Amino acid sequence: MQEFRHTIAGDIVTVHVPEDADDLGMFWDWFYQARERGPIALDTETTGLDIYSPGFRLRTVQFGDAHDAWVILWERGGHFDSYARDAIRRTRQILIHNAAYDWLVLNQCAGIPLEDLAPWTTDTRILAALIDPRQPSEGGIGTGLKPLSARWIDPSAPDTQAGLTTVFRSLGLTKETGWANIPLSNPTFLLYAGLDVILTARLAPILRAELSRLGVRDELVTYEHEIARLCAVMQRTGLLVDQEYAAPLARRLAEEAAHYSAVAARYGVSKIGSVAQVSEALTGMGETLTERTDAGALKVDKAVLLPLADLDRDWQRIGAREPNPLANAVLRAKRAKKWGEDYAAQFVTQLDTAGRIHASINSLQARTGRMSVSGPPLQQLPSGDHVIRRAILAEPGHVVISTDFQAIEMRVLAALADVKRMKAGFLSGGEKFDIHMYTARLVKGPAATKRDRKVFKGAGFGKVYGGGSRTLARQTGASEAEIAQAVAAYDRVFPEIKQASSRWQRQAFQNRMVFISATGRRLPLDRDRTFAVTNYACQSVARDVLGQAMLQIESAGLLEFCRLPIHDEILASAPKREAEEIAREFERFMSFPLYGVPIEAEAEIGGQSWGSLYGADY
């Protein structure tokens, strides 16, 4: 038996590393006693983060309480993995920091279904996010084990990740190669592997007590664990990639990027991403640049370059001027590079052995509770045409179904702010109700035009986002005077929105700048951006409406069809012959009243590729 000692918050703690059958017997004795005393913290060390790549391996499984940790060398196989597997299966109160990752690792490498672990798991990362959801960059503690331990347990708690990076380097390894190649005999690796579970075990009761002190309901904590499980199931399922489409697409986009980069180089721009080079070259060609970035540099983003290239927002020729060839080349090179490298190439390189991608779904990422998807970022694929989404396929014999909420944030706003005439509209509107046209008619009468609709749609978003007339004018292209009038009219028709916004800001002030959402979520407000409370209130409840819908979908037995949550939409793959019926069920389980406002969803049935919903014929 190897043993390491360390001091945490004044206590000497022990990390045990069993080396033979006798040692494993001692682990078993500890495990049985610890299980009687309370929850057991669990963690894994692996070769990397790419759970589904062919070379991925589980290296160690750690168990621990507040004083002892046991690092089981899974990689050694034999008794080591059978003891670890038995212990995992027999734990009835599990503490994990960022449970979704370890659930998926154990599901993939140990064959333990995540459905068997999830009901017994408390995720300390979820607890922390419900106390303060802000990232460190936003002034929060963050939800990493290190900053949480430093805040709640011991300011000098070791940064095990950073510490290991140093060890990797001393062994001639890197951040990338270290996790897979560090010998299991390395004492720092073993110590840190053990300390992580001890810290998790100590964190859980402290965070529970804090949640209770803050009055956060247990129901919210439970709900959030359920959502994490549903997202993990979708991540495990993954999405099928059309490799015969994606691989040539990645090549074609790389060629296109190279071609237009070469054109830009002829105008003195060697790096198309260099703001300084592009702005200098354009100025040298006689173009006048006026827009500035936050830091004061001349702006050369898409909105600036498109008019110079005589292109509208849909990249169609305007015919107003001779296109600037450099602006045109930079625009096209950047788009081809992004689409090719960030999307198409990722589809090909991140595949598992079955030709599927398993993008990571973070069920509780944003300050508002919104989810995020990364590796690749499937929530952000270009939606203007089918080119990228065409590479994602339904299962063989299936079709894609996309069910999205209708104007969800406006409905949530109407419900939360009790906007009388808006609620009346949603209640009487029926299936094809158009809130923006309804608003235009309220203000302008029956003669309201499509253009009026566009202006009031902008005003509506302005309200939800807390924006002003100037930004709205810039976004919609309408004049500032016209927008100012529309916003004023909007406030007359829906006076409750402004009242609610002020009320919510007052509530936040009285609660140390934390607004409590309708679902009990804690939403910290920045002191100099209190107007954002309107958006936080709506966005976070819209997120919880999606979560509620996901739970109903699971209860209806439809989880197996779900592939991806996208804020106001659920993407699914369903057998072609049952698609019509399943689509209606998605609509049904994504529709329910919210404080008297009907939340409604509409399903769209496509073909075999996701791109079929964006114009592809396949």
Partner DNA sequence: CTTCTCACG
Partner DNA sequence: ACGTACGTGAGAAGT
Residues 472 to 501 in contact with DNA, rule: CB under 7 A: 472, 475
Cα-based distances in Å from 598 to 313, 405, 425, 583, 591: 34, 11, 10, 19, 7
**Cis previous bond, 382, omega within 30:** no
CB of 588 to DNA, least distance (A): 20
- Window 336-355: residues binding DNA (CB under 7 A): 337-339, 341-342
Tell me which of 44, 149, 200, 362 binds DNA, using CB under 7 A.
Answer: 362
- Window 533-572: residues binding DNA (CB under 7 A): 535-536, 539, 566-569
Asked whether position 331 contacts DNA by CB under 7 A, the answer is yes
Asked whether position 227 contacts DNA by CB under 7 A, the answer is no
Give the binding-site size for DNA (rule: CB under 7 A): 73
Tell me which of 135, 177, 485, 507 binds DNA, using CB under 7 A.
Answer: 135
Asked if 483 and 455 touch (Cβ cutoff 8 Å), the reply is: yes
C-alpha 580/C-alpha 262 separation (Å) is 49
Radius of gyration over every alpha carbon of the chain, rounded to an integer in angstroms: 27
With 0-12 / 13-18 / 19 or more C-beta atoms within 10 angstroms meaning exposed / middle / buried, residue 172 is exposed
C-alpha 269/C-alpha 257 separation (Å) is 14
Pick the closer one to DNA by CB: 59 or 334.
Answer: 334
CB of 438 to DNA, least distance (A): 19
Tell me which of 301, 312, 578, 604 binds DNA, using CB under 7 A.
Answer: 301
List, in order, residues 6 or more apart from 607 with CB less than 8 Å away: 399, 400, 616, 617, 618
Pick the closer one to DNA by CB: 202 or 367.
Answer: 367
Q: Contact letters (x/-) for DNA, 504-533, by CB under 7 A?
A: ------------------------xxxxx-
Q: Is 458 helix (H, G, I), strand (E, B) or coil?
A: helix
Q: Contact letters (x/-) for DNA, 419-458, by CB under 7 A?
A: ---------------------------------------x
> What single DSSP character describes residue 294?
T
Cα-based distances in Å from 384 to 11, 328, 342: 58, 19, 17
Pick the closer one to DNA by CB: 142 or 178.
Answer: 142
Pick the closer one to DNA by CB: 310 or 342.
Answer: 342
Tell me which of 6, 79, 252, 299 binds DNA, using CB under 7 A.
Answer: 299
In the 3-class helix/strand/coil scheme, how is 86-105 assigned residue by residue?
HHHHHCCCEEECCHHHHHHH
C-alpha 154/C-alpha 89 separation (Å) is 31
- Max alpha carbon distance in the chain (Å)? 86
CB of 423 to DNA, least distance (A): 22
CB of 295 to DNA, least distance (A): 3
Asked whether position 67 contacts DNA by CB under 7 A, the answer is no
Tell me which of 78, 155, 213, 295 binds DNA, using CB under 7 A.
Answer: 295
CB of 445 to DNA, least distance (A): 25
CA angle 320, 322, 327 (to 5 degrees): 105
Q: Which stretch binds DNA (CB under 7 A): 146-154, 372-380, 415-423, 514-522?
A: 372-380
Asked whether position 283 contacts DNA by CB under 7 A, the answer is no
Task: Write out the two tokens for 218.
Answer: 């247990």
Tell me which of 122, 469, 548, 612 binds DNA, using CB under 7 A.
Answer: 469
Asked whether position 29 contacts DNA by CB under 7 A, the answer is no
CB of 23 to DNA, least distance (A): 39
- The DSSP-derived string for 200-265 is HHHHHHHHHHHHHHHT--HHHHHHHHHHHHHHHHHHHH-EEE-HHHHHHHHHHHHHHHHHHHHHHH
Asked whether position 165 contacts DNA by CB under 7 A, the answer is no
Asked whether position 274 contacts DNA by CB under 7 A, the answer is yes
Pick the closer one to DNA by CB: 62 or 539.
Answer: 539
Pick the closer one to DNA by CB: 8 or 613.
Answer: 613
Asked whether position 262 contacts DNA by CB under 7 A, the answer is no
Tell me which of 377, 520, 575, 598 binds DNA, using CB under 7 A.
Answer: 377
Asked whether position 50 contacts DNA by CB under 7 A, the answer is no
Of how many residues is the chain composed? 618
Asked whether position 200 contacts DNA by CB under 7 A, the answer is no
Distance of alpha carbon 489 from the chain centroid: 36
Tell me which of 35, 67, 208, 335 binds DNA, using CB under 7 A.
Answer: 335
Pick the closer one to DNA by CB: 84 or 305.
Answer: 305
Asked whether position 382 contacts DNA by CB under 7 A, the answer is yes
With 0-12 / 13-18 / 19 or more C-beta atoms within 10 angstroms meaning exposed / middle / buried, residue 173 is middle
Asked if 105 and 45 touch (Cβ cutoff 8 Å), the reply is: no
Q: Which stretch binds DNA (CB under 7 A): 90-98, 135-143, 165-173, 248-256?
A: 135-143
Asked if 330 and 264 touch (Cβ cutoff 8 Å), the reply is: yes
